[in-house]
Each structure stands twice: as structure tokens, then as C-alpha cells.
Amino acid sequence: MNCKSIFSLFIALVSSAFVISQDANTKVIFVIADGISADVIEKLETPNLDLIAGKEGYTRAYVGGEKGGYSESPTISAVGYNSLLTGTWANKHNVWGNEIKDPNYNYWTIFRYVNEYRPELTTAIFSTWLDNRTKLVGENLINNGTFKLDYHFDGFEKDVVNFPHDDDSLYIHKIDEHVVSEASKVIKESAPDLTWVYLQYTDDMGHRYGDSERFYDAVKIMDDQMGRLWDAVQYRTKKYNENWQVWITTDHGRTEKDGKGHGGQSDRERSAWMLTNEKKLNGHFKEGLPGIVDIIPTILTTFNINPKKEQAWELDGIPLTHEASLANARAIVRGSELKLTWNSLQSNDEISIWIATTNNFADGGTDNYKLMTKVDASLEKAVIDISEMPSEFYKVVLSGKYNAINTWANKK
């Protein structure tokens, strides 16, 4: 081996060690602050959120799937949480209300992805609400991979001794405080690799008082809580040289009239927001309108998890960091033609268009996709002849260099 080869080998070893150590030090925390529309978060002073987001880390976002389309999802809490957790809308994850009657665990949550692909990573939930762990994440369920979280701190809404219920939901505020204190402590001491913090008080005050000082005070309390969480993250970053990616978002907006309700498809109910300390944000975050379903594809990328093709092709969101090829696919059937549109995020990209006429994935099976054609991504539209594939239902995947997106079309 000559000097040059030894040098190359040395560089290769150093860089692979660098990649591994970077990876081992990467931690992700995501927070849902319940039921705060974008106009409210923008008009109030939120110094801690501003500090975390820096100059470019805040964007408006949307919830509720495709309004009037096949993926339209109620702007209801558990529906929104599960859209975040699975990176899919309700037509797939099948949570349509807070009763969480029958989640479809074939659409994995981020916790299951981590458990299956990176079992060495540690996971944590800090939450007012027990169902977040037991039903949505579906801990320890046989039909959901039977995995456990490393840390959990939740269920206090059932503890009426320490948190006696009162008409003004002060007990929910106290639980949120308890949850944030414990999350900060565990982050400082143990630094789980993936953490979900869920806070409820803002939604309770919204329901009770609507657009009012009481609701705004709850948002300011949440901001203060995020400051304490951020202190814990800063402590780990400085002391242990860890790389923390923080996401803070909401699960739905509120009604136009008085801000008391939610669940429908008005602009304000669909108006969400997200913020992050991550600096490597792509055009979809900076110039587009991200959806709540984009956070999980981003975290998968952060953890170097590449789901198998069948799973990746079901994700309704795309990563908000790194390069991305395309977003926002739409398809309609007109006679024997399928008309497709999308947004291209690259100047030179070719996309492959795949179609299946089954949805076996929803039942744990696989779908046979047929490659229909390849086109220049920058065209942002295509017309596909489907006369050889008569069907009432089409599942369409557009696959670019960096990511794939999917959409459904029903024959009307």
C-alpha cells in the first residue's frame, strides 16, 4: 500500500467514525401544544419559541388532509396527533375522533419505526393523556409489534388524589407543569433519543374561553414551559456535545367565530404551525406550506431510517430537511385518463409514475405497482392512459431522486 492509499484509508476511517459519532449523538424531541391556531401564536409574544426557532425555523403549516378530498381528516386532537405520529392522514391511520376506536397499526408510528429499524435507540413519552401511549403509539400491543418505551410519564388525568379535577381545568395546567418538569429532568439525566412531549392546557382554555386573555395566558405559559425544556436541551448540547433536533407544533387551529371549537375544515381550524431549531431546512419548509404529516418523514431522515419501499410509498409527508424531489401530488380520473399534478422541488429530476389498483397495504398485504412512465419532474403534470387498467380506485406513487409521494384517485 503506498502513501496515498494509506492516507485515503485514514480519511475513510476518520470520516466513517465521524458519521457514526454524529449519529449516536443525534436526539429528537417533538412537542404538541394542543389547539393553537397560527394567527394566535403569531400575534402573542413568545420569547422562548422565538429563541428556539431563530430567524428561519418557524412556518405556518396545515392539518386536516386534502380539504374535500379523499384524505380529508377532522381537525380533532387525536386525529391530528396520529397524523403526526404516522406521517399519514386519517384515511390511512383510521383514527377519526378522540375515542381512538380502531387505529390501523399497519401505518407505523415513529416509535415503531425506531423500535424496528433502530432498536438501540431509547424512546420516551411525557403526556397528560394516557391514550397517547397505550392507544396511538400502541405500546405492548401484539398487533403493533409488541414494543415498549424506555421512559413514560403520563396518565395523570386519572390521578384525582394529586390532581383533583376542578371546573376551570387548573388541574390540567398542574399536570402540564409536572410533565414538563419530568421531561426536562429525564432529558438532562438520560437524554432519550426520541421524545414526545404532549401539553393540553391551551386547548382546555380555548374551549372554555375562546379568543380571550385566558387563552392567551395559557399560550404564554406554554412558551415558558418550552423555555424550560430548551434549557434542558441546551444543557445536554453543551455538556455532552449532543445534536438535538426540536420540533414544536399543534394538532389543529380553532373556529373562526370565537375560537372555542374545532373539528371542521375552515381555514382557521386547518391553520397550524411548526417551529424547529434545525438549520438545514429545505424549500418545502421555507417556501411551501408543510403539513403535520411532514414531521415524521423528517425524523426518519434524521435517524437514518430508510423504511422499506412499500412503507415509504404510503407516507403522506416528505422530509423538511435535506434534498427533496417533489410534493403535493393530486390525481383525478377522467374517462380512461388519469390526470396528475405535483410540485417539483428540483431543477433536474426525472420522476417515475407507478399505479396500483389495490389497497392491500391497509390490511397488512402488498400492492403490485405498475411503472406507467417516466417524465421530466419540472413539467409538474402528466396524463396517464389507464384504459388497460380499469378500476374504481387508483393508488398513485410519484418517485423522484430524493423522495416519493403518493395520492389516491377514485372513479367518480
64 binds Zn ion (CB under 5 A): no
| β-pair type (393-399, 404-410) | antiparallel
User: Which of residues 251 and 278 has its CB atom nearest to Zn ion in the complex?
Assistant: 251
User: Which of residues 36 and 372 has its CB atom nearest to Zn ion in the complex?
Assistant: 36
77 binds Zn ion (CB under 5 A): yes
User: Which of residues 66 and 251 has its CB atom nearest to Zn ion in the complex?
Assistant: 251
User: Which of residues 215 and 303 has its CB atom nearest to Zn ion in the complex?
Assistant: 215
Taking the complex as a whole, the smallest distance from the CB of residue 334 to Zn ion amounts, in Å, to 38
Contact between 340 and 384 under an 8 Å Cβ cutoff? The reply is yes
Taking the complex as a whole, the smallest distance from the CB of residue 75 to Zn ion amounts, in Å, to 8
* Among the residue ranges 36-44, 140-148, 243-251, 276-284, the one whose residues contact Zn ion (CB under 5 A): 243-251
Residue closest to Zn ion (Cβ): 77
Contact between 218 and 201 under an 8 Å Cβ cutoff? The reply is yes
What is the number of residues in the chain?
A: 412
Taking the complex as a whole, the smallest distance from the CB of residue 108 to Zn ion amounts, in Å, to 22
User: Cell for 171?
Assistant: 388541574
Place of cell 399505479: 355
User: Which of residues 292 and 409 has its CB atom nearest to Zn ion in the complex?
Assistant: 292
User: Which of residues 203 and 314 has its CB atom nearest to Zn ion in the complex?
Assistant: 203
User: Which of residues 131 and 350 has its CB atom nearest to Zn ion in the complex?
Assistant: 131
Annotate the chain with three-state secondary structure.
CCHHHHHHHHHHHHHHHHHHHHHHCEEEEEEEECCCCHHHHHHCCCHHHHHHHCCCCEEEEECCCCCCCCCCCCCCHHHHHHHHHHCCCHHHHCCCCCCCCCCCCCCCCHHHHHHHHCCCCCEEEEECCCHHHHHHCCCCCHHHCCCCCCEEECCHHHCCCCCCCCCCCHHHHHHHHHHHHHHHHHHHHHCCCEEEEEECHHHHHHHHHCCCHHHHHHHHHHHHHHHHHHHHHHHHHHHHCCEEEEEEECCCCCCCCCCCCCCCCCHHHHEEEEEECCCCECHHHHCCCCEHHHHHHHHHHHCCCCCCHHHHCCCCCCCCECCCCEEEEEEEEECCEEEEEEEECCCCCEEEEEEECCCHHHHCCCCCCEEEEEEEHHHCEEEEECCCCCCCEEEEEEECCCCEEEEEEECC
User: Which of residues 33 and 229 has its CB atom nearest to Zn ion in the complex?
Assistant: 33
Taking the complex as a whole, the smallest distance from the CB of residue 177 to Zn ion amounts, in Å, to 19
34 binds Zn ion (CB under 5 A): yes
Which residues partner with 281 through β-bridges? 321
341-380 binders of Zn ion (CB under 5 A):
none
Which residues partner with 335 through β-bridges? none
**Choice from 211, 223, 251, 367 touching Zn ion (CB under 5 A):** 251
Taking the complex as a whole, the smallest distance from the CB of residue 96 to Zn ion amounts, in Å, to 14
Taking the complex as a whole, the smallest distance from the CB of residue 361 to Zn ion amounts, in Å, to 28
Total residues interacting with Zn ion, rule: CB under 5 A:
5
Taking the complex as a whole, the smallest distance from the CB of residue 289 to Zn ion amounts, in Å, to 20
**Choice from 139, 203, 278, 367 touching Zn ion (CB under 5 A):** 203
269 binds Zn ion (CB under 5 A): no
Taking the complex as a whole, the smallest distance from the CB of residue 215 to Zn ion amounts, in Å, to 13
User: Which of residues 253 and 288 has its CB atom nearest to Zn ion in the complex?
Assistant: 253
**Choice from 27, 29, 31, 35 touching Zn ion (CB under 5 A):** 35
314 binds Zn ion (CB under 5 A): no
User: Which of residues 74 and 87 has its CB atom nearest to Zn ion in the complex?
Assistant: 74
* Among the residue ranges 1-9, 26-34, 107-115, 163-171, the one whose residues contact Zn ion (CB under 5 A): 26-34
Taking the complex as a whole, the smallest distance from the CB of residue 228 to Zn ion amounts, in Å, to 22
Residues that bind Zn ion (CB under 5 A): 34-35, 77, 203, 251
